[in-house]
Amino acid sequence: MAEIPYRFVTDSRVEELITRHAGLEPGQETDHVVAIAGRLMLRRVQGKLAFATLDDGSGRIQLFAPSKTTPEFEQFCDLNLGDWVGITGVVMTTRRGELSVRVDSWVVLAEARRPFPDKWHGINDVDTRYRQRYVDLWVTPEARQTFLMRSRMMTLTRSFLEQRGFIEVETPIFHPIPGGANARPFTTHHNALDLDLYLRVAPELYLKRLTVAGFEKVFEIGRVFRNEGVSTRHNPEFTMLELYQAYADYHDIMSLVEELVEQLAVELTGSTVLTVADQELDVARPWRRATMIELIEESIGATLSLDMPLDELRTIAKQHEVQVKDTFGPGKLILEIYEKTTEGALWGPVFVTDYPAEVSPLSREHRDKPGMTERFEAILAGRELCNAFTELVDPEQQRSRFEDQAAQNAQGDDEAMMVDEDYIRALEYGLPPTGGLGIGMDRLAMLLTGASSIRDVVLFPTLRPEQ
RNA sequence: GGGCCGCUAGCUCAUCGGGUAGAGCAGGGGACUUUUAAUCCCAAGGUGCCGGGUUCGAGCCCCGGGCGGCCUACCA
């Protein structure tokens, strides 16, 4: 085999060539000489004339190679599917009208030493697709499309936030104290410091420290890690967008979420109507806003409140097959009833608002409803997309919420939070009224691409190792 | 964690009431100057996920294990 060059300069992408020469009649030869490179996807050798299909990632175009004009014609015909080649030649159309590049010179850029998957069926086995994503992405156009859309989604999200004055920051992934979400953390160890550390379950507490510091609008898009089971909606590491806006409350944040999602849908799909699992979801603003209590009442027809006797709540919970524990207060019972009876039936888009303080250790108490907090989750296509609230700013209240959490942790709830003294110290310097938001970007990508499994929007999902 | 299903050539898939496997594509050889998943001819390609058991004989039946999928549970 010929030497593999160290460099190959292209001047065109296939996508551009197709657009530029869209109207070309059959049998035309232009004076447009191009240099393109990509992977050989198909090959049709016909004696003294060879055709091939090149894929450069932007699209596919035919290569036209007559023996008379193609250098080293025999070797060109011996190329294997999957080989990378660099081509220079004129743009032309064949007798049948197929837009092609005539191979006036060519060079091998990489050999495919492993066999090409079935050129028509590609790879069907999802295990292989996830494990060998590098193969999946070039033989499965939908997979490529999904990840291109995800990339654009991230870019558009960043510019959406930057246009509104948010600055992007990066906070630690190693946390001495895990916090910001109720989730079991991964643990690790720093040798030189002889220090046990946790991989973050959320960046929340660091971002609010930055609000204390005087950054009015901050966001972070980053990986978080939760030591939980995997499913079509859960990958142990996933990408979270969190943002904090000083002087704002949860109503402002709801408006922001609506705007973001509507805009992404229009820019990425051209419509506010998305298709998920063969059902339509219209994300056009405004979205319905309803309290958790209202939605439960709609769903089960019973009246609930935090003030009613605990026994009555327990009875209702048991009627709906909620597994009740003695430690559950009224707030936890209401949340459990919501999750068991109501959440799964919601399609959305809907903002579910006003969560009990008992289950919302970082949210500020509702301005009118004692025992409730100003918190919401958005449900889209039956899935929870985000979690947001008017932030708890009072250090004393925060300490007491942390202590409740720590007590639950001590009782064996390894998802409950611990007391973060430094975070309380930060609050003591003064956190202004602040609205905060966390969005699972993988789930947002699922929504926008119509993917039914989170693994279809994560390039390399967590799997058991082979063998 | 529980239930159900799957695993056969590099890829996509067959076969059978238990009788030690077959095709297309890819890869190899040959024919072919306008093909489009090109076509045609030839040859090659297998630890039937792994390990036990039943049987004269197991890819197929039984048990255990592995990996994956779906559902469920868990999961802010």
User: What number of H helices and E strands is found in chain A?
Assistant: 13, 19
A210 close to A242: Cβ distance less than 8 angstroms: no
In this structure, the answer to whether residues A88 and A149 fall within a common structural domain is no
Domain boundary among A87, A110, A133: A110
Query: A462 lies in a domain?
Result: no
Which strand B nucleotides have any atom less than 7 A from protein CB atoms? 1, 10-13, 24-29, 31-39, 66-76
Using DSSP's 3-state secondary structure scheme, residue A270 falls into: coil
In this structure, the answer to whether residues A190 and A95 fall within a common structural domain is no
In this structure, the answer to whether residues A89 and A156 fall within a common structural domain is no
The 8-class DSSP code of residue A391 comes to: B
Taking the C1' atom of every nucleotide in all shown strands and the CA of A95, the nearest one is: B34
Instruction: Kindly give, in sequence order, each residue whose CB lies less than 8 Å from that of residue A205, ignoring residues fewer than 6 positions away.
Output: A179, A180, A420, A423
In this structure, the answer to whether residues A263 and A378 fall within a common structural domain is yes
In this structure, the answer to whether residues A34 and A99 fall within a common structural domain is yes
Q: Cα separation of A373 and A366, whole Å?
A: 4
What single letter denotes the amino acid at residue A327? T
CA distances from A105 to A15, A64, A308, A341, A445 (A): 21, 11, 82, 67, 42
Q: Distance in angstroms, CA of A410 to C1' of B70?
A: 36
- Residue A291 confidence (pLDDT): 95
- Rounded to the nearest angstrom, the gap between the alpha carbon of residue A441 and the centroid of all alpha carbons in its chain is 3
- Residue A2 confidence (pLDDT): 59
Give the ranges where A61-202 is alpha helix by DSSP (H): 73-77, 126-131, 133-139, 141-163
Q: Distance in angstroms, CA of A466 to C1' of B25?
A: 26
CATH of the domain at A174: 3.30.930.10
Give the ranges where A238-368 is alpha helix by DSSP (H): 250-269, 292-300, 310-319, 330-341
Query: A319 lies in a domain?
Result: no
- Residue A103 confidence (pLDDT): 97
Q: Which domain holds residue A356?
A: 141-287+348-456
**DSSP one-letter string for A111-127:** ---SPPPPTTT----HH
Q: Which residue is nearest to nucleotide B50 (CA to C1')?
A: A467
Q: Distance in angstroms, CA of A125 to C1' of B58?
A: 26
- Residue A106 confidence (pLDDT): 96
Q: Distance in angstroms, CA of A52 to C1' of B53?
A: 54
Taking the C1' atom of every nucleotide in all shown strands and the CA of A48, the nearest one is: B33
Alpha carbon dihedral A79, A82, A85, A87, in 10-degree steps, equals 90
b/e sequence A425-435, b meaning 16+ C-beta within 10 Å? ebbeeebeebb
Domain boundary among A110, A129, A158: A110
Q: Walk along chain A (467 residues) and give the pLDDT tens digit of each residue.
A: 458 999 999 999 999 999 999 989 999 999 999 999 999 999 999 999 999 999 999 999 999 999 999 999 999 999 999 999 999 999 999 999 999 999 999 999 999 888 888 888 888 888 888 888 888 888 888 889 999 999 999 999 999 999 999 999 999 999 999 888 888 888 889 999 999 999 999 999 999 999 999 999 999 999 999 988 888 888 989 999 999 999 999 999 999 999 999 999 999 999 999 988 778 899 999 999 999 999 999 888 888 899 999 888 888 888 888 888 888 889 999 998 998 888 888 888 999 999 999 999 999 999 999 999 999 999 998 888 999 999 999 999 999 999 988 888 887 777 888 899 999 999 999 999 999 999 999 999 999 998 888 999 999 888 877 65
Domain boundary among A91, A110, A129: A110
In this structure, the answer to whether residues A354 and A253 fall within a common structural domain is yes
Q: Distance in angstroms, CA of A257 to C1' of B72?
A: 31
CA distances from A403 to A130, A278, A406 (A): 42, 46, 5
CATH of the domain at A57: 2.40.50.140
Q: Distance in angstroms, CA of A66 to C1' of B57?
A: 58
Q: Which residue is nearest to nucleotide B68 (CA to C1')?
A: A127
> How many folded domains does chain A comprise?
2
Q: Cα separation of A393 and A434, whole Å?
A: 8
Q: Distance in angstroms, CA of A41 to C1' of B63?
A: 46
Query: A420 lies in a domain?
Result: yes
Query: Residue A361 burial (CB < 10 Å; 0-12/13-18/19+)?
Result: buried
In this structure, the answer to whether residues A83 and A207 fall within a common structural domain is no
What single letter denotes the amino acid at residue A244? Y
Q: Token digits for A2?
A: 């010929």
Q: Is A30 left (phi over 0), alpha (psi -120 to 50) or beta?
A: beta
Taking the C1' atom of every nucleotide in all shown strands and the CA of A26, the nearest one is: B34
Taking the C1' atom of every nucleotide in all shown strands and the CA of A466, the nearest one is: B67
